[in-house]
Amino acid sequence: MSELPALKNAALALDGRVATLVFQRDDVRNALTGTDLTDDIVATLNWANACAEVSVLIMTGEGSAFSAGGNIKNMAARAQESPHILAQYYKHGVQRIPIAMQAVEIPVIAAVNGPAIGAGFDLANMCDIRVGSTNAQFGETFANLGLIAGDGGGWYLQRLVGYQRAAELTFTGRIVKAEEAKTLGILLEITEPDALLTRAQEMAAKMAAKPPLALRYSKRLLRLAQQQGLHEHLDTCSSFQALVQKSEDHTEALAAFFEKRSGVFKGR
């Protein structure tokens, strides 16, 4: 098994084929800037791509918040820097998260334990699936501070809820609570706070029981489908299907089906 990456502000554990990343900066409500959480998230995603023993990743926050996004005190301290320096700060800082999230090969589940605000909301939206506790709240709140979503949040939000609703949430900067978030399609499910991680783990375990290669190629196809035309996408499907159909896991899956047993998959 690939060695777990050394993280500074988060904890990473691997149980079976399910990895769980817990943000551990409750002192600043798990802010992504002014902490090492951006480095920790990117390191974890890179590790997941390279580690054949992991099939699903869960992200959640320790304490009261999933992530408050940007650290406002940190923003104020940078207000005197030149536009060029600030642009480089974003490019080489928080923008590494969407690039890594777009490249990650395994399903990612956000277990939203509390407020996900600004870049924290955007991070949740970058995940494939979001389950939230009754304490979950969401806000694309950049305009409230005279800012915009510098982490590419607008790209994700409108793909999740449609342009009109994304515009309303962005222009008003209002907070959306869990029940409305489920109605809008931001959350897939809502649980009681003490049941959130268990539910996310149940969902992840069901995914992780599938052949690992099929799971990774399926994730890649879903992402490619967002930008490909139909004919190009069908060509990609043909190529990917040819690869997985020759895998040992496909042979094992067929045997398990006919023998009415659970498959034992090795990711090859």
CATH number at residue 160: 3.90.226.10
**How do residues 104-128 score in pLDDT, each as one tens digit?**
999 999 999 999 999 999 999 999 9
* Residues 136 and 41 reside in one and the same domain: yes
* Residues 194 and 240 reside in one and the same domain: no
Sequence-ordered list of residues with C-beta below 8 angstroms from that of 87, at least 6 positions apart, any chain: none
2 belongs to a structural domain: no
**How do residues 222-265 score in pLDDT, each as one tens digit?**
999 999 999 999 999 999 999 999 998 998 888 888 988 887 88
3 belongs to a structural domain: no
**How do residues 7-57 score in pLDDT, each as one tens digit?**
999 999 999 999 999 999 999 999 999 899 999 999 999 999 999 999 999
Tell which of 208, 227, 245 closes a domain: 208
| Confidence (pLDDT) at 256 | 84
63 belongs to a structural domain: yes
* Residues 31 and 142 reside in one and the same domain: yes
Q: Look at the chain and report how many structural domains it folds into.
A: 2
4 belongs to a structural domain: no
User: For residues 157, 160, 161 and 167, what is the CA-based torsion angle, rounded to 10 degrees?
Assistant: 20
268 belongs to a structural domain: no
Tell which of 208, 228, 245 closes a domain: 208
216 falls in which pLDDT band (50, 70, 90)?
Answer: very high
Mean pLDDT throughout 187-198? 98
| Confidence (pLDDT) at 91 | 82
| Confidence (pLDDT) at 35 | 95
246 belongs to a structural domain: yes
Contact status, residue 56 vs residue 107, Cβ threshold 8 Å: yes
Among 159, 155, 149, smallest CA distance to 186 is for 159
User: What domain range is 65 assigned to?
Assistant: 10-208
* Residues 198 and 219 reside in one and the same domain: no
Among 169, 164, 250, smallest CA distance to 212 is for 250
81 falls in which pLDDT band (50, 70, 90)?
Answer: confident
* Residues 102 and 229 reside in one and the same domain: no
* Residues 228 and 197 reside in one and the same domain: no
| Confidence (pLDDT) at 76 | 66
119 belongs to a structural domain: yes
Q: Which residues pair with 66 in a beta bridge?
A: none
195 belongs to a structural domain: yes
Q: Say whether pLDDT at 195 is over 60.
A: yes
Q: What are phi and psi of 203, to 5 degrees?
A: -65, -45
* Residues 69 and 170 reside in one and the same domain: yes
1 falls in which pLDDT band (50, 70, 90)?
Answer: low
The structure tokens listed for 99 are 């690039």
Sequence-ordered list of residues with C-beta below 8 angstroms from that of 143, at least 6 positions apart, any chain: 170, 171, 172, 173
* Residues 189 and 251 reside in one and the same domain: no
* Residues 239 and 186 reside in one and the same domain: no
* Residues 121 and 148 reside in one and the same domain: yes
* Residues 240 and 121 reside in one and the same domain: no
* Residues 190 and 235 reside in one and the same domain: no
77 falls in which pLDDT band (50, 70, 90)?
Answer: low
What percent of the chain stands above pLDDT 70? 97
